[in-house]
A = this chain, B = another copy of it.
Amino acid sequence: MATAVKAKGRSAGRKLSMSGAAAPAEPIPARAYAARSATSPLGDFSFVRRAPGPKDVQIEVLYCGVCHSDLHTARNEWKMTQYPCVPGHEIVGKVVSVGKKVKKFKPGQMVGVGCMVESCRTCPNCRAGDEQYCDNEITFTYNSIDHKAPAGSAPGTQTYGGYSTQMVVDEDFVLSIPKGLDPAAAAPLLCAGITTYSPLRHWGVKKGMKVGIVGLGGLGHMGVKLARAMGAKVVLFTTSAGKVADGKRLGAHEVVISKNADEMARHANSFDFILNTVAASHNLDAYIALLKRDGNMCLVGAPEHPHPSPTVFNLIFKRRSIAGSLIGGIRETQEMLNFCGKHKIVSDIEMIPMQKINEAYERMLKSDVKYRFVIDLASLK
């Protein structure tokens, strides 16, 4: 009897499963804001997300941070934008449903999506957990070729980002947002947070080290908070005397006005690591000279016009180095979120409705934001 019941149970289970496969999930309608051209403001846009597959997580987007890359892409400043373009890769939302093979997430859970939604998964970098350095093809969250676009989409359809009400993402590219963090203020962790956390970790920042953060914007203010929480002595470099108090409030032990040559000279040969978050072209030598022997300055901003060429003597005379770093891998992004959960670190944000995005872009260009705009997607519902 017991055996018969078991057999029946198994059979019923299989039937349910097969019936699920036989009736595929429907594509998900989404509302969004999109740029239609490099020069037009972002406006209302409707599209459908793919029908969630067995490994997919369907997410109702609650908040999306506004990264400077969004603006660069919307306005085709990197000359590779496909239109319509729905930006947004600092996404926090609630799980609506999960595919039957999804193991890590459940409906109702608070989750995040960052800059990537897929990679090749087979190259040495992907296998090492550094999907952001995939040797083959990363599918970025927006403006990448969408190999999983809904059936019937035009060939080469691009991915659409988080300025939208719904996301459908493979669970391996979905992050868990720790309880206790404000979900809106956690959104910028998915790009600004990991972009600063990853190099700080990679270059071994810890107690006993002196760390510089160049620039106090969306990235820089996260860099200050994270480096401080890692135990380093943190010096913030800013061109703006008006940011001194705020830099200290955010966690900097010292704030140096980088235009003041005497202040800069006092720090010569003293830094273990400098995280340079400034994307505008500027004189790198002024910072390289502040590094100790074997010190590294890591750039996380890519300037539209090249920096003046750094002086080779500055590198040679202390075996200093200059590097670059791109976001972080998925495993490290989860590690960063957990670190932020433990240390109660989120971004300083200003919340806006979707309809204010064009105005927010203009204010970003004037650095008029402390320190990240976050879109409340409820404004689109």
| Contact call A318/B133, Cβ cutoff below 8 A | yes
A320 proximal to B (CB < 8 A): yes
A325 proximal to B (CB < 8 A): yes
A213 proximal to B (CB < 8 A): no
Check A317/B313 contact, CB under 8 A, given A133-B293, A269-B135, A293-B133. Answer: no
Q: How far is the CA of A300 from the CA of B315 in the complex (A)?
A: 9
**What is the distance, in angstroms, from A147's C-beta to the closest C-beta of chain B?**
20
Which among B311, B317, B320, B326 is the interface contact of A317 at CB below 8 angstroms?
A: B326
| Contact call B324/A312, Cβ cutoff below 8 A | yes
Q: How does the 8 Å CB contact mask read for A100-135 relative to B, with 1 for contact and 0 for none?
A: 000000000000000000000000110000100101
Hey, which chain B residues are within 8 Å of A321, CB to CB? 296, 321-324
| Contact call A309/B307, Cβ cutoff below 8 A | yes
Q: How far is the CA of A141 from the CA of B94 in the complex (A)?
A: 68
**What is the distance, in angstroms, from A99's C-beta to the closest C-beta of chain B?**
31
Q: How far is the CA of A315 from the CA of B293 in the complex (A)?
A: 21
A residues 304-345 near B (Cβ < 8 Å) are: 306-326
| Contact call B322/A326, Cβ cutoff below 8 A | no
| Interface range, A side | 35 or more
**What is the distance, in angstroms, from A372's C-beta to the closest C-beta of chain B?**
20
Hey, which chain B residues are within 8 Å of A13, CB to CB? none
Q: How does the 8 Å CB contact mask read for A51-71 relative to B, with 1 for contact and 0 for none?
A: 000000000000000000000
Hey, which chain B residues are within 8 Å of A324, CB to CB? 312-317, 319-321
Q: How far is the CA of A308 from the CA of B317 in the complex (A)?
A: 20
A27 proximal to B (CB < 8 A): no
Which among B293, B302, B315 is the interface contact of A322 at CB below 8 angstroms?
A: B315
A303 proximal to B (CB < 8 A): yes
Check A312/B316 contact, CB under 8 A, given A269-B135, A296-B321, A322-B321. Answer: no
**What is the distance, in angstroms, from A199's C-beta to the closest C-beta of chain B?**
8
Q: How far is the CA of A125 from the CA of B199 in the complex (A)?
A: 25
| Contact call A302/B325, Cβ cutoff below 8 A | no
Nearest to A323 among chain B residues (CB) is B321
**What is the distance, in angstroms, from A242's C-beta to the closest C-beta of chain B?**
27
Q: Beyond the given A306-B312, A315-B323, could you list 6 further A-B residue pairs with CB under 8 A, ordered by the A residue number?
A: A133-B318, A307-B312, A314-B324, A315-B322, A319-B324, A320-B323
The 5 closest A-B pairs by CB, nearest first: A315-B324, A316-B324, A321-B323, A309-B309, A306-B309
Interface residues in chain A, defined as those with a beta carbon under 8 Å from any beta carbon in chain B: 124-125, 130, 133, 135, 199, 202, 269, 293, 296, 299-303, 306-326
Of the A-B pairs whose beta carbons lie under 8 Å apart in the complex, a sample of 21, sorted by A's number, is A124-B293, A130-B293, A133-B293, A133-B318, A202-B319, A296-B321, A299-B315, A302-B313, A302-B316, A306-B312, A308-B309, A309-B310, A312-B324, A315-B322, A315-B324, A316-B324, A316-B325, A321-B322, A321-B324, A322-B322, A322-B323
